[in-house]
Amino acid sequence: MHMSRKIEATVDDLYNVPENAKAEIVNGKLLLIGPTGWHPSYAASEIFVSLREYTRRSKSGRAVADNAAFVVDLPNRKSFSPYVAFYRGPDSGMKFFQGAPLFAVEVRSEGDYGPKAEKLIAQKRKDYFAAGTEVVWDVDLLSDDVVRVYRFSDPERPAIYRRGEFAEAEAVLPGWQFPVDSLFD
């Protein structure tokens, strides 16, 4: 009788992703995340630059750019790789960040639409909150509701920001505001 064992992906597997591609460990599997196009990449870059300036001025935490890995210990998830994040924790040197970011930004790409994608996005948001993230942005460049700000304290009712408005991440980033119009070149 042949028995197969389910081998779960580990953090070591994450360190060895071919071509240093973006990936996360979800449900025991290494989930490769494809590259993004012009608009999502531009939007994430604009958010990062603004957040980096805020952290330099406030001398509080670190702004983290795309493709960084945050190692967590949830039953169904062992890592996150947000587009942009704010982290306050120990310096892990050349290793992955240990623990969840306090603030995470997810920018939707072409494949992030439809019922299946909505379900996956909602689950990831729940995972962020379970790991200790306090604020999660869902940035949707194709919607009038461009930035949905979800908070651990009220995860089902996001604050919504549109063009012409300023999005925020209170209480994690006091005083930081981001002009939604800056997401579009």
146 within some domain: yes
Residue 5: predicted pLDDT: 63
Euclidean distance between CA atoms 184 and 74, whole angstroms: 35
H/E element holding 119? helix 115-131
Q: The tokens 């942009």 sit on which residue?
A: 84
Residue 47 located in a structural domain? yes
How many CB atoms sit inside 10 A of residue 42's CB? Answer: 17
State residue 35's pLDDT score.
87
* Domains held by the chain: number: 1
Q: Give domain status of residue 26, yes or no.
A: no
Q: What is the pLDDT of residues 6-64, one digit of tens each?
A: 689 999 999 999 887 899 999 999 999 988 999 999 999 999 999 999 999 999 999 99
Segments forming the whole domain that contains residue 159:
37-183
Tell me whether residue 175 is in a domain.
yes
7 domain residue, yes or no: no
Question: For 101-154, how does the pLDDT look when each residue is reduced to its tens digit (9 = 90+)?
Answer: 999 999 999 999 999 999 999 999 999 999 999 999 999 999 999 999 999 999
What is the domain-level CATH number for residue 78?
3.90.1570.10
Residue 8 within a domain:
no
Cα gap 81→166, rounded to integer Å: 25
Residue 117 lies in a domain: yes
Residue 6 forms part of a structural domain: no
Judged on CB neighbours under 10 Å (0-12, 13-18, 19+), 144 is exposed
What pLDDT band is residue 4 in, cutting at 50, 70 and 90? low
